[in-house]
């Protein structure tokens, strides 16, 4: 039989296609891998891609350059377990019930790892701190879950586990790896090469309390300066490991087939009378978080998104990019491939809801005792911790409201990133409008406590009186 040139070409292509399919080299894109990199206690202003100049973060900056950077992302509660539970469940802490570090995520919660596992993913998590061990409830959906028995581990004892797992995984199946690094959290003590300059090579709560004791309750300016230097060193150290992980994906030939998400569980406070701490801070240092998504197949390099977004949007975004249907329980929005537009209106969707931890009695007392011994830092008086009132923030791209019900603070973020000029008394109508938006937001996310003991009794009574809890 005689074949026309066109026809022979077609036959050749069909044969080639069959051969490629048989050898597993099909060009049909399969499900993408997912790498969730979360860093504890990382301030957004310490990353070059967010305009930070204090320390070089070339590896994080590269993720930002290759993908999407969210200029206005907020955590829901500046505390580790609550905010990570939000990332994994797409629910506000009020809804998943992890309202402080002492509560575990309920086993019946629907999680990102469960959704990906059900979609055929190999799942593995590498955690640096005992607080995140299986008792945290965050292990659900992970086939491999590595968490330490010791209090916390530096990146060089956590990240290599993820690198080894990536090398040994089944390359025929997509993977979901969650790697969390704890280094920028107190104690600040990076390896020596990341801590140049004079002074102690580690600053911890213990050393801060000793310093305060020796200075009549004040932590001197020099100690604060050294703490900032060591904190910046920890950020540089984490950036090094972020580079090691992305280099590994590149070496394995899967970087562009992987949705890389980079964020922090919360930041850290070094001002407003709150120092070396984040849980009791609703200011930007603790509330704003970095959020980067790299996936060149669906997200253009250099994408910048100004809209206000939240941690609860992270899991829906990953599932949308992976083409996996989100569980019905998820509340957040998919932010990609089509990013939401910024809205300036005073409507709930234009704001992130942030909540002060709802403390259990014991942890609240412990915190207050510790904080009481540091009466000032560099001469600035430290704040008392709120443990028996509900305190919230609404963060939008322009306006930020912080209120404990009785008093309110209002900031114009683009004009006043440092939140130094409280406009609440100058703009009473706007403040009242925002408090109404806050109430609407709280009503949309009703508080669901798992146990009566999850918050302290006085606070529970207040919440009950306000109708926030049954």
| Interaction site with Zn ion (CB under 5 A) | 40, 80, 265
Closer residue to Zn ion (CB): 81 or 445: 81
Closer residue to Zn ion (CB): 241 or 399: 241
Helices 221-251 and 159-168, packing angle to 10 deg: 10
In angstroms, give the least distance from the CB of 266 to Zn ion.
Answer: 6
Closer residue to Zn ion (CB): 190 or 267: 267
Closer residue to Zn ion (CB): 40 or 313: 40
In angstroms, give the least distance from the CB of 22 to Zn ion.
Answer: 49
Closer residue to Zn ion (CB): 80 or 111: 80
In angstroms, give the least distance from the CB of 265 to Zn ion.
Answer: 4
Closer residue to Zn ion (CB): 40 or 355: 40
In angstroms, give the least distance from the CB of 45 to Zn ion.
Answer: 17
In angstroms, give the least distance from the CB of 100 to Zn ion.
Answer: 12
Closer residue to Zn ion (CB): 229 or 265: 265
Residue nearest to Zn ion (CB): 80
Q: Return the closest-CA partner of residue 126 out of 167, 175, 184, 165.
A: 165
In angstroms, give the least distance from the CB of 279 to Zn ion.
Answer: 8
In angstroms, give the least distance from the CB of 397 to Zn ion.
Answer: 25
């Amino acid at each position: 039989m005689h074949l026309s040139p066109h026809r022979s070409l077609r036959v050749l292509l069909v044969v080639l296609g069959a051969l490629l399919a048989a050898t597993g080299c099909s060009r049909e894109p399969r499900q993408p891998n997912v790498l969730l990199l979360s860093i504890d206690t990382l301030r957004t202003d310490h990353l070059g891609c967010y305009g930070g100049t204090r320390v070089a973060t070339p590896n994080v900056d590269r993720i930002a350059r290759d993908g999407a950077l969210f200029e206005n992302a907020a955590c829901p509660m500046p505390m580790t377990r609550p905010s990570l539970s939000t990332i994994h469940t797409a629910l506000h802490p009020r809804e998943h019930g992890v309202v402080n570090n002492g509560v575990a995520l309920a086993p019946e919660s629907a999680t990102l790892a469960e959704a990906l596992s059900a979609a055929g993913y190999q799942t593995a998590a590498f955690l640096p701190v005992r607080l995140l061990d299986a008792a945290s409830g965050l292990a659900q959906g992970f086939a491999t879950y590595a968490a330490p028995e010791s209090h916390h581990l530096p990146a060089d004892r956590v990240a290599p586990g993820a690198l080894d797992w990536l090398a040994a995984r089944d390359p025929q199946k997509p993977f979901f790896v969650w790697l969390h690094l704890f280094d920028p959290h107190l104690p600040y003590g990076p390896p020596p090469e990341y801590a140049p300059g004079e002074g102690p090579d580690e600053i911890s709560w213990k050393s801060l309390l000793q310093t305060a004791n020796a200075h009549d309750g004040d932590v001197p300016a020099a100690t604060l300066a050294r703490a900032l230097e060591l904190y910046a060193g920890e950020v540089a150290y984490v950036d090094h490991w972020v580079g090691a992980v992305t280099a590994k994906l590149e070496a394995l030939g899967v970087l562009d087939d992987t949705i890389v998400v980079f964020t922090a569980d919360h930041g850290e406070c070094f001002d407003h009378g709150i120092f070396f701490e984040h849980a009791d801070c609703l200011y930007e240092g603790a509330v704003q978080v970095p959020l980067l998504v790299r996936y060149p197949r669906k997200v253009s390099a250099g994408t910048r998104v100004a809209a206000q977004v939240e941690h609860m949007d992270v899991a829906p975004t990953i599932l949308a990019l992976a083409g996996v249907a989100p569980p019905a329980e998820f509340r957040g929005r998919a932010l990609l491939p089509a990013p939401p537009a910024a809205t300036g209106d005073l409507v709930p969707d234009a704001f992130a809801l942030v909540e002060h931890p709802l403390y259990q009695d014991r942890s609240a007392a412990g915190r207050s005792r510790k904080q009481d011994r540091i009466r000032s830092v560099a001469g600035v008086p430290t704040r008392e911790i709120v443990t028996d009132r509900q305190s919230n923030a609404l963060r939008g791209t322009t306006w930020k409201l912080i209120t404990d019900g009785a008093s309110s603070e209002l900031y114009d973020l683009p004009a006043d990133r440092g939140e130094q000029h409280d406009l609440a008394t100058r703009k009473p109508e706007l403040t009242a409008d925002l408090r109404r938006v806050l109430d609407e937001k709280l009503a949309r996310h009703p508080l669901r406590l798992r146990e009566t003991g999850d918050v302290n009794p006085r606070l529970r009574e207040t919440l009950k009186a306000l109708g926030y809890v049954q």
